[in-house]
Amino acid sequence: MSRNRAQASEEVRSTSVAWLWVWLLGLLVVTPAWSDDLEALMASLSFSSDDVAAVRAGELVSGRLESASDRELAVAVVVKTSVEPARLVAALAQGRALSRNPKVKHFESVSKPMGPAALKAVTLTPEQVKRWRRASPGEDINLSADEFQILKSSLAGAGGDSATASAVEQAVEAILQTRMQMYQLSGLDGIASYERSSGDLRDASGELRLASQANQKMGLLPDEFYDVLLAYPDRVPAGFQETFFWTLEEGPGTMLLNLTHRFSVQLDEGYGTVQRQFYVSNGYNVEQAISRILPVEGGSVVLYTNRTSTDQVDGFGGSARRSIGDRMMESELSGLIRRILGSVKSEAP
């Protein structure tokens, strides 16, 4: 089976409350023997038996996935590492994926519930200050209609187009604070849509739901995992570990700010993990990376998937742009994953 063709599967099943509780109570004891079926899991991501053999031999393999929407880039990476699952998940929770990413210039963890000073360290580059000063509906900046009004009012009281960088940062901090609080309280339902210049809305929450449902159809993780993913924070199983971050990083042609939720759930002796960028200031809309970490002799196998929503591949000629974007993202993520695993491996347990 080609690695560049997503496998068709059944419609997403709904999980009954009774079954959910059976899973929550028995998660650490009664789980399918996924660890013994690497070939089936890789086939769910459209990798071939040759790819499986390459991973067993220590090679990294990557490929494209079927996009869940016309705005989505979707890729998968599979690699074996000598780092055991628990140690790898702990390193990721501490921000290792961010610290080893050369595009990330600064990041900090955010508590839950967050305090009033959680985002006080947010700073903007001069280019970002200009971007936020002139913010208006469109692809240059991702804000809801209400947020555009709040920003305009805040800056008007601080000098408008001549507002100081400090005043702009305070206004941005307030918007990000609300975004983080709403997500922590309501999950996907708390994500406000972005307003575009055409009057259209870009439903960031809807894009994340589509990404989650597309991954669920592939069967990389048990259905119950996706019930947690979609229903957060209402359904959180035993052993659930989560971390929040705000990040300043280099995006497509400019710097951007994003808010990230990372969490993991133990599955047998391995893990299911998620890194969800539920707000991105500009450059793209949202991103969600879902991984299965399997225990194997001598370490782990990481089956990583990434789905990123961007307006840059929508519309006429979008298919060709998605193909190019997928290849670029595939190459970039493969290199980043190698750096992350190498960093964790080099440090003493």
pLDDT for 348 equals 62
User: Taking Cα atoms as reference points, which of 192, 188, 217 lies closest to residue 68?
Assistant: 217
Token readout for 151 is: 């920003």
Q: Rounded to the nearest 5°, which phi and psi values hold at 92? A: -65, -40
Per the listing, tokens 């994340």 go with 208
Q: Domains of the chain (ranges plus CATH)?
A: 17-113+221-346 (3.30.530.20)
Its pTM surpasses 0.75: yes
> Which CA distances in Å does 47 have to 37, 55, 323?
13, 11, 18
pLDDT for 35 equals 45
Query: Is the distance from CB of 193 to CB of 201 less than 8 angstroms?
Result: yes
What span, in angstroms and rounded, lies between the C-alpha atoms of 178 and 89?
A: 28
Q: What is the pLDDT of residues 177-207, one digit of tens each?
A: 999 999 999 999 999 999 999 889 999 999 9
Output the average pLDDT for the chain.
88
DSSP 8-state code for residue 34: G
Residues of the chain with pLDDT under 70: 1-36, 348-349
What span, in angstroms and rounded, lies between the C-alpha atoms of 88 and 275?
A: 14
Please report the beta strands in the chain, taking only residues with DSSP state E, as ranges in sequence order: 61-64, 72-81, 104-110, 194-195, 201-202, 241-250, 255-267, 270-280, 286-296, 299-309
pLDDT for 349 equals 66
